[in-house]
């Protein structure tokens, strides 16, 4: 029974991984601060970490502070952008301030950008090379910790390093 469940989850994972785009899909929008945003302009500056999230997503609330800390280490080498999906902008602004996110957070009221990227679950993160190729995708929490707060699994840092090595 356990082997069958593991195999089914493995196949589901493969299906989800194959469903994501292989290249970045250009999009434009407004940020939470009201500024215009264009993904193409961000890609001109370097590789991009693209995170889809919302305040009504419990794993996103766990992940937010982690992303803020990692951004502080990578801000000079990787461009960060978050897409706030079908959310209350007031609540999103509160979380962005709380987590000290200083990168653009694009509002996706109708989930148009999320749909274009075939995002089915929040959080979902894309690691995009400067040439627009999607190097990695991760659906779910990027950093898992145990009850004592020790990192058990880190999907964020290794994928950012992979992104920096991509052409």
Supply the CATH number for residue 94's domain. 3.40.30.10
Q: Which tokens belong to 69? A: 């800390």
E strands of 47-88, at which residues? 48-53, 79-85
Burial of 15 (0-12, 13-18, 19+ CB in 10 A): exposed
Look up the domain containing 155 and give its range: 2-165
Domain count, the chain: 1
Q: What is the mean pLDDT of the chain?
A: 89
Q: CA-to-CA distance for 166 and 30, rounded, in angstroms?
A: 29
Contact predicate 48/79, CB 8 Å:
yes
pLDDT, mean of residues 61-73: 94
Quote the pLDDT of residue 147: 82
Q: CA-to-CA distance for 123 and 132, rounded, in angstroms?
A: 21
The H-or-E segment that residue 95 falls in is helix 89-99
Q: ∠ CA(16), CA(17), CA(21), 5° rounding?
A: 105
pLDDT, mean of residues 66-74: 94
Quote the pLDDT of residue 5: 47
Strand partners, 36: 30
Percent of the chain with pLDDT over 70: 89
Quote the pLDDT of residue 13: 53
């Amino acid at each position: 029974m356990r082997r069958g469940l593991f195999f089914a989850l493995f196949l589901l994972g493969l299906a989800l991984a194959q469903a994501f785009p292989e290249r970045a899909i250009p999009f434009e929008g407004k940020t939470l601060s009201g500024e215009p945003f264009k993904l193409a302009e961000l890609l001109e500056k370097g590789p991009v970490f693209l995170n889809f999230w919302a305040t009504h997503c419990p794993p996103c609330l766990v992940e937010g502070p982690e992303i803020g800390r990692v951004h502080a280490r990578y801000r000079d080498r990787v461009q960060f952008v978050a897409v706030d999906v079908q959310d209350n902008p007031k609540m999103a602004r509160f979380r962005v301030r709380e987590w000290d996110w200083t990168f653009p957070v694009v509002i996706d009221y109708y989930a148009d950008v999320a749909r274009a990227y075939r995002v089915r679950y929040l959080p979902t993160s894309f690691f995009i090379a400067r040439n627009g190729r999607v190097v990695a995708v991760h659906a779910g929490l990027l950093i898992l910790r145990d009850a004592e707060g020790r990192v058990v699994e880190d999907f964020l840092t290794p994928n950012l390093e992979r992104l920096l090595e991509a052409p």
